[in-house]
Amino acid sequence: AERSAAAEQADAARAAAEAAVAGQERAVAAVEEQRTAAIAQLAAARGTTVALERQRQEALAAEQEQAEQDQAEHDPTEPPAPTSEPSLGPPDDPTVPVEPSAPPQPTTEPSAPPQPSTPPQPTAEPTTPPEPPQPTVEPSPEPTDEPEEPEQPDPPASGAQAAVDYAFAQLGKPYEWGADGPDSFDCSGLTMRAWEAGGVDLPHWSVAQAQRVDRVSYSDLRPGDLIFWSDNGQASGVYHVGLYIGGGQMIHAPRPGKDVEVQDVFYWVDPSFYGRV
């Protein structure tokens, strides 16, 4: 009789453990589904693709992991022993799901991922760009917090001038995601080909281009420098790039449905940083 009762208790414990594991797996699957939906919304808001946004998220996660490793190397002190058993539920951040390592029932439901913010869109169609080499149309409207325009920058090097000349020659060609010419471009495809004409090989990815440049201030900008927009102010969060042509203006391939154009550097949201190739 005692053996029979022990067997029943063992069967009940096994069933409870299996139910806990199944519940944990469902929670992890729900987190991954929410993450995929959030990435799809972010891609739609930016006019990119789910694959590119997922790649950006993975780059952000890799950068954060590297930063944590670096901090751990500089701070070798032993962590305090936990006073209670840690919860094995899904992580607070649903964008980085993990596999359950033990069968306990998750203590909390996974939180929903934050909704991506939609970048503001230009309020007016761009004005017709003037002929190269120097646009004469004054940018309008002027933002109230715009930094002072660079005063008499040094003349561009021959490679930078070749990059600017190439970009001018592409004005009016349509935006197409993943394209790098000759008939259509996306933002990093245009800057890659422009600097290829200037004798420098850049990767066809705005994040990688941001990692290759030396940062400069707005007041130090020269024609041929690159202008970046980033979610987090760092290279890992870059989602758009343009080519500075002087006079507070740039040439860029903006988004689907638009053509390569000359625009004021501050016509949209303020750039995150600037770089010299």
Residues labelled as active-site residues: 187, 240, 252
Within a 10 A sphere around the Cβ of 35, how many other Cβ atoms? 19
Contact 194, 234 (CB under 8 A): no
- Distance from the Cα of residue 96 to its chain's centroid: 16
Cβ neighbours for 232, distance < 8 A, ≥ 6 positions apart: 60
**Phi and psi (nearest 5°) for 125?**
-65, 145
Residue tagged 């646009």 (tokens) = 135
Residue 17, classified by CB atoms within 10 Å of its CB into exposed (0-12), middle (13-18) or buried (19+), is middle
N-terminal to C-terminal alpha carbon distance within the chain: 82
Taking alpha carbons only, the member of 240, 262, 268 closest to residue 169 is 262
Nearest 5°: the CA angle 271, 274, 276 is 160
